[in-house]
Amino acid sequence: MHSIMLKAKLHRAQVTHAVLDYEGSCAIDGEWLDLAGIREYEQIQIYNVDNGERFTTYAIRAEEGSKMISVNGAAAHKAGVGHRLIICTYAQYSEAELAQHKPHMLYFQPGNELSHTSHAIPVQVA
């Protein structure tokens, strides 16, 4: 049996560019892709914290160290400059792989300053 699980998450990264007339995708700082284990052209889910939009596209590499999140093509209608996004990837894991699985999560402060990384989400308390 296999389960689809969270592979990686960029939490509250801010959109730096929204380019309607660019081939559809989402350009992400190459350092962040590497740190999160997201491959170029990998499918990503984007959740817009500011307007509730949820959409699917794929990741492309932006210049390393640029702090860029560029939402391109038709997706530029769903996220504007300054919007805060949660960008996730998911993968299928076998039961044996699940015993060792830990997602890669990057957390951002305003201005796309990387706050910290984690491999677990804290338990939500009542």
Q: Which residues are annotated as a binding site for substrate?
A: 57, 73-75
Residue ranges of the annotated binding site are 57, 73-75
Cross-strand partners of 118: 105
58 classed as catalytic? yes
Distance separating the N- and C-terminal Cα atoms of the chain: 33
Question: Considering only CA atoms, which of 67, 109, 55 is closest in space to residue 84?
Answer: 109
Question: Considering only CA atoms, which of 110, 24, 98, 32 is closest in space to residue 68?
Answer: 32
22 classed as catalytic? no
Q: How deeply is 26 buried, as exposed, middle or buried, from its count of CB atoms within 10 A (0-12, 13-18, 19+)?
A: buried
Q: Which of 58, 90, 93, 107 is catalytic?
A: 58
The residues annotated as belonging to the active site are 25, 58
